[in-house]
Each structure stands twice: as C-alpha cells, then as structure tokens.
Amino acid sequence: MTLRVDVLTLFPDAISHYCATSVLGRARARGAWELRVHDLRDATDDPHRTVDDTPYGGGAGMVLRAEPIVRTVESHPDLVRPVVALSPSGRPFTQSLAREWAAGSGLTLLCGRYEGIDQRALDLVVDDEVSVGDFVLAGGELAALCVIESVVRLVPGALGNDESALDESFSEGLLEYPQYTKPAVVRGLEVPAVLLSGDHARIARWRRAQSLARTLTRRPDLIARRGGLDEAERALLEEVVGPVGHERLNSKGPSDPKDRAHEPD
C-alpha cells in the first residue's frame, strides 16, 4: 500500500517543489508515497479568487474563509482521512504520531494563512489539528513539509536504508547520540576512542549512555515522560560517564549548564 498525502494550500508550488527534492523526491520515484496538492483558490467564487476577509468582532489581520476550504474537501471525496489542520492551537506533533500516520494509508494536511482559519471550516471538514512547535509561522506550508518529511521517511522503502529511521532521536523517547565521521581529528578534536575500537558491543553501550546523557541535558522532560531512569540505565551512565557523573545525576539542581547532562529525572 502506497502512502498518500493530500495538501490543501494557497501556495501549491512551495509544497510541490520541496517534495520533488532529496529524500522525499527519491521516495516518490521509488513509489513509496504519493503527493496530491490542491490550490484553495480554485474553490473561490469571485473573479479575484478571494480566500480571506476581516475578522468578525474586529482585530488586526485577515482570516482564511471557510468556503474555499469546505468546497475543496467536498469536491474531492477521495481525500485521504484524517484531514489535519496545521495550527499553533493544535496538539503537539510527535515522532509517535508520525509513526502512526506512516503505518496508515495517508492523510490530508490543511495549511492555514493570515490570522487563522474560520472556525466553521475546522468544525465542518477537519478531523484533527496539530502544531509543530510553540511558535507562529506566516502559514502552514513549512509546518506541513515538516510533517510530510517526518512521516514519509518512516515508510518502508522511503530511505535507502530502512534502519536509518530506527536509530535516531525520539525513536525510543531519547535524543540521538553524537555522530562522527572522517577525519579522526578535526582542529585538535579527536573522535572518541571507543568508536575506533571495532568492539560493536562497547560502541552500542557508549552510544546508549551518550543518548541518555544528552537527553538529560537538553530534554529532561523526555526522561520524565518515560518514567525516569531505571537501574540498568543508571548503572550504564556510571560505567560510561563515570562515578562523578553518577553522583551529579542523583544531586539536585546543578548550577553549571555543563553539568545538566546529570540532572535528576
């Protein structure tokens, strides 16, 4: 089954051009996914192809009208469900949601513009709303591309090596370990010796410990979400990071930002 993504937008070329490049373009060429882009202006009913108007109740900016959105959905009964609006008010988009959608038949993404979308369009034809972060964009196209790329790369056959999508940030609720490539020394900074050892078991343990430490430093909320560290993970951190790191891990509130790799869970 080929994953299909429909996109409802005022800027179809922005979506089409990006999706023809790099990972997404190669995956489409392999038949791993299909893209259909729909211009909301095609569903307008006036010579100027008007898609926005001033907000009821006053306020700055313009609001995306409901009719072009509703008409676009109704004129394409084969649109893939769910229909998802990209909105700062939506639930957070996560890697687990990307995996869920990648395992399905596809989805339709609605890109907002201006000050927002008329609520009646959301009530009538939208199944879900998601946000790619706690910030505001001029429109939903960039957010839609984030969703498309994160979903498509999880589809079997989309990447040159399917294992690439399994061993990365958020795959297990953790951030990815640091990566290195040739040469072995750059400006006096050497690749960690364990990565040159050829001992795959040691390398795997080092990478796991670094992933735990990096997540503790940068995203302690992810550690809390998974219920903290278990005894095996604490022991691994002590083994790889060292006893001092283990002591700091169990201490309260490190004052030095460099110590945050050892923040308590």
Q: Which amino acid is at 148?
A: I
Q: What is the model's pLDDT at position 172?
A: 79
User: Same domain for 192 and 150?
Assistant: no
**199 and 151 together in one domain:** no
Report yes or no on 17 lying in a domain: yes
Q: Position 187: which residue type?
A: R
- Residue-level pLDDT at 66: 97
pLDDT at 166: 52
Domain coverage including residue 258: 185-262
Q: Report yes or no: 173 and 225 within 8 Å, Cβ to Cβ.
A: yes
The verdict on 91 and 13 lying in the same domain is yes
User: Contact 6/75 with Cβ under 8 angstroms?
Assistant: no
Q: Which of 161, 176, 196 is the last residue of a domain?
A: 161
Number of compact structural domains in the chain: 2
Do both 231 and 108 map to the same domain?
no
Residues 86, 20 within the same domain = yes
Helices 141-152 and 95-102: angle between axes, nearest 10 degrees: 70
Three-point CA angle 34, 93, 38, nearest 5°: 35
pLDDT of residue 161: 58
Give the model's pLDDT for residue 258: 37
My answer on whether 152 and 189 are in the same domain is no
Determine phi and psi for 135, rounding to 5 degrees.
-155, 170
243: CATH: 1.10.1270.20
Residue 165: the pLDDT is 54
Residue 243, pLDDT score = 54
Q: What's the pLDDT score for residue 169?
A: 54
Per 3-state DSSP, what percentage of the chain is helix, strand, and coil (rounded to 5)? 45, 15, 40
Tokens of 166: 């399994």
Q: Provide the pLDDT for residue 251.
A: 34
Tens digit of each residue's pLDDT, the chain (265 residues): 899 999 999 999 999 999 999 999 999 999 999 999 999 999 998 999 999 999 999 988 999 999 999 999 999 999 999 999 999 999 999 999 999 999 999 999 999 998 899 999 999 999 999 999 999 999 999 999 999 999 999 999 998 655 555 555 566 789 999 999 999 999 999 999 999 999 999 999 999 999 999 999 999 999 998 899 999 999 999 999 865 344 344 433 333 333 333 333 3
